[in-house]
């Protein structure tokens, strides 16, 4: 979210509304919402499978924030051959 914009170094706090998405997974702290047996899923009470679903909510929220707050890089990566690790993760741009 805070890569440099062309010509200006980012300073101070950078507030981006997309970051608010990071609050979404915190519904897992409101236990009365899901502290019950029904509806069960493949024999798992709601309490358990609902929290598994919330892992996915957490992943989606961090992933969305990452994608939506990415800005263009001002300094191009040094022109060196990609190493194994970079090839692995497909981070070569």
- Contact residues toward another protein (CB under 8 A) are 1-4, 9-14, 19, 22-26, 28-32, 35-37, 40, 42-45, 47-48, 51-52, 54-55, 57-59, 61-63, 65-66, 73, 75-78, 85-86, 88-89, 91
User: What are the residue ranges of helices labelled H in 1-93?
Assistant: 46-68, 84-89
Residue 68 Cβ vs another protein, minimum distance, rounded to whole Å: 11
Q: 34: which DSSP letter? A: T
Q: Is the peptide bond before 51 cis (omega within 30 degrees of 0)?
A: no
Q: Is the dihedral of CA 53, 59, 63, 66 positive or negative?
A: positive
The least distance separating another protein from the CB of residue 11, rounded to whole angstroms, comes to 4
Shortest approach of another protein to residue 62 CB, angstroms?
A: 4
């Amino acid at each position: 979210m805070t890569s440099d914009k062309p010509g200006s170094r980012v300073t101070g706090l950078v507030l981006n509304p997309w970051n608010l998405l990071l609050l979404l997974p915190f519904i897992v702290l409101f236990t009365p919402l899901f502290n019950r047996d029904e509806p069960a899923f493949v024999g798992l009470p709601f309490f358990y499978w609902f929290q598994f679903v919330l892992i996915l909510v957490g992943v989606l929220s961090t992933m969305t924030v990452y994608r939506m707050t990415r800005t263009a890089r001002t300094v191009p990566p040094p022109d060196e051959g990609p190493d194994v690790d970079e090839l692995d993760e497909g981070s070569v741009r």
